[in-house]
């Protein structure tokens, strides 16, 4: 695999080694070793390029211990695109030394079954069996204006299957002409990007775009921020692309969704791929601010400075213990606001944070924003 070394070398020498990225990096602050910090990884990449060191198994481990959350890039006063550099280093490592062994099964599953769970892809829409009183033909159509792209995690992980169920209810309530793709939906390819196998997403990309075009849709909406980001950055399509929070906020403004009271004090966690990487900060807050009785208390680190939940960059597969520690720290930050509920807009954030709360026996509520909308959604007149 060919790396654009001319661009990357500019990044090497643009880094002034100030160390401000260390304070923003959840992994570096937990492991407390320079090699795991963004600054340390930049120097390792430079040493490799200059022939000072070779790619080793240890290098593979070091670059895998990263959330790819982008907090370092936002903090860097020199404008170094650190997260992009780390993705490209993973590509080089995968090309020369192979995939990380703990990530390889999921990548093989995507290649063979078109989902990260290695399940029969035809079962991707089994979550619809518990959807309630909405008939199948309302959201499983041959032609529609909008495709709701569900994503692997929400399709196959029971803890978060309520999210697509919520989305179907919300869009149906607003009389949106939409459909899901069911087994015709394939993994977006995001896990491959994080694993260093970005070139392998072409088959997935071409298939998914064609599946959307087959139903005549011009718009694709996502509840998964990583799917949303992958389509925006890697799919090169003229289809209109929205995260579900953008669509819901717009439907509220059009008065097509009416929300009742939700008397709760909550804090909102900005998912990395939706916020820092996607620039979607205000639509979730627009939704929450439109709900009577809801009080939002912001965390110390919010919007572009939000701290990752611990579930990004394939870290949950590579180092689950570290992922759990970071999720527990996220819970503690949320608790400092005085809120008793954390709301986010990402199925992976829900899984990671809720899972940590259960394991650590922390009495703390974690909801997806669609859970909140569903709880106070008023029926159509």
Q: What is the pLDDT of residues 21-44, one digit of tens each?
A: 999 999 999 999 999 999 999 999
pLDDT band at 355 (very low <50, low <70, confident <90, very high): very high
196-200, 218-222, 377-381, range with greatest mean pLDDT:
218-222
Angstrom distance (rounded) from CA 338 to CA 90: 39
pTM here is: 0.96
Q: What are phi and psi of 259, to 5 degrees?
A: -120, 135
Q: What is the pLDDT of residues 90-149, one digit of tens each?
A: 999 999 999 999 999 999 999 999 999 999 999 999 999 999 889 999 999 999 999 999
Q: Which fold has domain 259-376?
A: Rossmann fold (3.40.50)
| DSSP annotation of 182 | G
Angstrom distance (rounded) from CA 103 to CA 315: 9
Angstrom distance (rounded) from CA 239 to CA 131: 28
| DSSP annotation of 133 | S
pLDDT of residue 108: 96
Contact 321, 37 (CB under 8 A): no
Angstrom distance (rounded) from CA 165 to CA 146: 16
CATH 1.10.1060.10 placement within the chain: 5-97
Query: Percentage of the chain surpassing pLDDT 70?
Result: 98
Strands 294-296 and 264-268: parallel
Instruction: State the burial class of residue 243 (Cβ atoms within 10 Å of its Cβ: 0-12, 13-18, 19+).
Output: buried
The domain made up of 5-97 is a member of CATH 1.10.1060.10 = yes
Q: Does residue 358 have a pLDDT over 50?
A: yes
pLDDT band at 52 (very low <50, low <70, confident <90, very high): very high
Q: Does residue 187 have a pLDDT over 50?
A: yes
Q: What is the pLDDT of residues 158-180, one digit of tens each?
A: 999 999 999 999 999 999 999 99
Class of the domain covering 104-251: alpha beta
pLDDT of residue 1: 42
Contact 45, 81 (CB under 8 A): no
Contact 243, 225 (CB under 8 A): yes
Query: Percentage of the chain surpassing pLDDT 90?
Result: 92
pLDDT of residue 3: 57
Q: Quick one: tokens of 179?
A: 């459909």
Largest separation between any pair of C-alpha atoms in the chain: 70
Pick from 82-86, 236-240, 306-310: least confident: 82-86
Angstrom distance (rounded) from CA 35 to CA 31: 9
Does residue 238 sit in helix, strand or coil? coil
CATH 3.40.50.1860 placement within the chain: 259-376
Q: Does residue 10 have a pLDDT over 80?
A: no
pLDDT band at 227 (very low <50, low <70, confident <90, very high): very high
Q: Quick one: tokens of 139?
A: 């959201």
- 303 torsion bin: left (phi>0), alpha (psi -120 to 50), beta (else): left
Contact 260, 288 (CB under 8 A): no
Contact 344, 369 (CB under 8 A): yes
Among residues 316, 361, 353, 347, which one has the least CA distance to residue 334?
A: 353
Residue corresponding to tokens 């697509």: 164
Angstrom distance (rounded) from CA 356 to CA 359: 5
pLDDT of residue 11: 77
Q: What is the pLDDT of residues 53-104, one digit of tens each?
A: 999 999 999 999 999 999 999 999 999 999 989 999 999 999 999 999 999 9
| Cα→Cα distances 339→143, 286, 291, 335, 359, Å | 43, 19, 16, 6, 20
Q: Does residue 256 have a pLDDT over 90?
A: yes
């Amino acid at each position: 695999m060919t790396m654009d070394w001319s661009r990357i070398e500019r990044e090497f020498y643009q880094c002034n080694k100030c160390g401000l990225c260390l304070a923003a990096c959840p992994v570096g602050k937990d492991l407390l070793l320079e090699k795991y910090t963004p600054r340390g990884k930049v120097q390792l990449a430079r040493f490799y390029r200059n022939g000072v060191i070779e790619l080793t198994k240890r290098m593979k481990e070091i670059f895998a211990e990263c959330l790819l959350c982008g907090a370092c890039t936002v903090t860097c006063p020199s404008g170094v695109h650190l997260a992009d550099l780390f993705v490209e280093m993973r590509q080089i490592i995968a090309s020369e030394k192979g995939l990380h062994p703990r990530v390889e099964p999921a990548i093989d599953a995507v290649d063979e079954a078109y989902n990260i769970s290695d399940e029969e892809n035809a079962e991707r829409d089994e979550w619809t069996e518990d959807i309630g009183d909405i008939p199948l033909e309302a959201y499983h159509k041959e032609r529609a204006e909008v495709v709701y792209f569900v994503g692997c995690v929400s399709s196959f992980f029971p803890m978060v299957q309520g999210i697509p169920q919520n989305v179907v209810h919300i869009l149906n309530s607003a009389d949106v002409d939409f459909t899901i793709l069911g087994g015709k939906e394939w993994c977006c390819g995001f896990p491959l990007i994080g694993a260093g196998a970005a070139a392998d997403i072409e088959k997935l990309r071409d298939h998914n775009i064609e599946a959307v075009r087959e139903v005549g849709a011009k718009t694709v909406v996502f509840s998964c921020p990583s799917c949303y980001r992958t389509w925006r950055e890697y799919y090169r399509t003229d289809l209109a692309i929205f995260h579900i929070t953008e669509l819901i906020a717009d439907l509220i403004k059009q008065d097509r969704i009416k929300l009742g009271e939700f008397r709760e004090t909550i804090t909102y966690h900005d998912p990395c791929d939706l916020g820092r990487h996607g620039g979607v900060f205000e639509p979730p807050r627009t939704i929450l601010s439109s709900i009577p009785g809801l009080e939002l208390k912001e965390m110390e680190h919010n919007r572009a400075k939000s701290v990752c939940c611990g579930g990004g960059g394939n870290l949950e597969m590579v180092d689950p213990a570290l992922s759990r520690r970071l999720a527990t720290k996220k819970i503690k930050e949320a608790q400092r606001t005085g809120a008793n509920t954390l709301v986010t807009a990402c199925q992976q954030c829900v899984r990671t944070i809720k899972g940590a709360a259960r394991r650590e026996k922390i009495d703390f509520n974690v909801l997806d924003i669609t859970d909140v909308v569903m709880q106070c959604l008023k029926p159509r007149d």
